[in-house]
Amino acid sequence: MRKVQKILVPIDFSDASGSALDYALMLAPRLGAAVTALFVSPQHAWYEQLPAFPRPEPLDPARRRRLEEDLRRFVTRSGSAQPVADVVLREGDPADEILAQAASSEADLIVLGTHGRRRFERWSLGSVVDRVAREAERPVLTVPPHLRAPVIARVLCAVDLSDFSAETLEHGFALAQVMEARLAVLYVAEGTHWYEPWPISGVDPQAVRQAIAESARQRLSELVAHHVPEGFPVEVSVTVGRAQREVVRVAGEGADLVVLGVRSTHGVDRLFFGSTAQHVLRAGICPVLLVRQPRTAASEPHPTEGAAGPS
């Protein structure tokens, strides 16, 4: 896992972004990282081919100063005279500007609030969070607004046993280690043959499911043994069912943070993101760390097994 030294937190002055900032500030000292708060002043779309739509005007100096002052106040805690984070103001499309700021500042982690109000609704799932998670070259941590006590006691890391699972697991272990939390590693065996007429062919579907689960449990144990030091508290589990449902169910049983891998942005991978990772995000049970697969990696699940998430 890449060392986290810089955390970027997009802000829109909502409770959602406040929760994200609180979470980043909780993580920062444990990770040894600095926090930067970013506000993007959105501009209306400009259509160059349609002269009737004028080019949007940039913020005037007075308006910019007021926004910068508002941003500094937002990141200044009661009883303190100094902001708890650096502040940056940009103009344009929120997703574009978040990605641009993350790249230019070489941020190691982006922390985004979800399900906010007012302008933040445009930053919610399906738009900005979706796009940033799929396109950012660094991990994205999403934080639900109802989180009041940002504590991490149990980290749930869902993997799909592809080559990329090792990197996803390393992120989960690293966070569990610095937070002194328990680590739970989950694989969901979905199978690829549920459509076959087993009763007609005489095959026992329960036996097939059990065989798939046992094979997955062996591979999962080997993965954990290679990437989690001996003696570190870790739970290893395999369930059978739909990945998106099982990850949400297990997370609801006591996870404080879920770690998932996210595949690339092309073709069916986009549908895969929507079917599993986005489903977990929408559940809003707890914060979710999305680790995007490198564009050059070719990671596919085992041909006889399902996937526990897009990792």
- DSSP per position, 5-66: -EEEEEE-SSHHHHHHHHHHHHHHHHHT-EEEEEEEE------TT-TTSPPPPPPPHHHHHH
Average pLDDT over residues 183-200: 69
pLDDT at 292: 82
Q: Residue 201: which pLDDT band, with cuts at 50, 70 and 90?
A: low
Average pLDDT over residues 231-246: 91
- Report the C-alpha gap between 77 and 1 in whole angstroms: 31
Contact 240, 212 (CB under 8 A): yes
Contact 136, 109 (CB under 8 A): no
Contact 42, 94 (CB under 8 A): yes
Mean pLDDT of the chain: 81
Pairing assessment for the beta strands 154-158 and 257-262 based on DSSP bridges = parallel
pLDDT at 293: 75
Global pTM value: 0.82
What is the edge-to-edge ordering of all strands in the sheet holding 288-292? 86-91, 34-41, 6-11, 109-113, 140-143, 288-292, 257-262, 154-158, 182-189, 234-240
Q: Residue 270: which pLDDT band, with cuts at 50, 70 and 90?
A: very low
Q: Which of 116-130, 243-257, 263-277 has the highest mean pLDDT?
A: 243-257
Q: Which of 310, 302, 301 is nearest to 275 (CA)?
A: 310
pLDDT at 284: 86
The conformational region for residue 272 under phi > 0 = left, psi -120 to 50 = alpha, else beta, is alpha
Sign of CA dihedral 229, 150, 40, 282: positive
pLDDT at 144: 87
Say which range, 24-38, 84-98, 198-212, has the weakest mean pLDDT: 198-212
Residue with tokens 């966070």: 175
- How would you class 282 by CB atoms within 10 Å of its CB: exposed for 0-12, middle for 13-18, buried for 19 or more? middle
Domain 6-143 matches domain 154-292 at the CATH topology level: yes
pLDDT at 126: 45
pLDDT at 277: 82
Show the tokens assigned to 224. Answer: 């954990």
Residue 281 above 70 pLDDT?
A: yes
Beta carbons within 8 Å of 72's beta carbon, 6+ residues apart: 83, 87
Percent of the chain with pLDDT over 90: 47
Residue 52 above 60 pLDDT?
A: no
Domain 154-292 has CATH 1.20.120.1200: no
Helical H segments across the chain, by residue range: 15-31, 61-74, 94-104, 128-135, 165-178, 198-201, 205-227, 243-252, 268-272, 278-283
Contact 110, 142 (CB under 8 A): no
pLDDT at 115: 63
pLDDT at 269: 45
- Report the C-alpha gap between 63 and 71 in whole angstroms: 12
Residue 55 above 70 pLDDT?
A: no
The residues spanned by each domain of the chain are 6-143, 154-292
Q: Which helix (H) or strand (E) holds 158?
A: strand 154-158
In order of 41, 56, 90, the CA distances from 59 in angstroms are: 8, 9, 10
Strand partners, 86: 36
Indicate the CATH number of 6-143 among 3.40.630.20, 3.40.50.720, 1.20.1250.20, 3.40.50.620.
Answer: 3.40.50.620
pLDDT at 271: 39
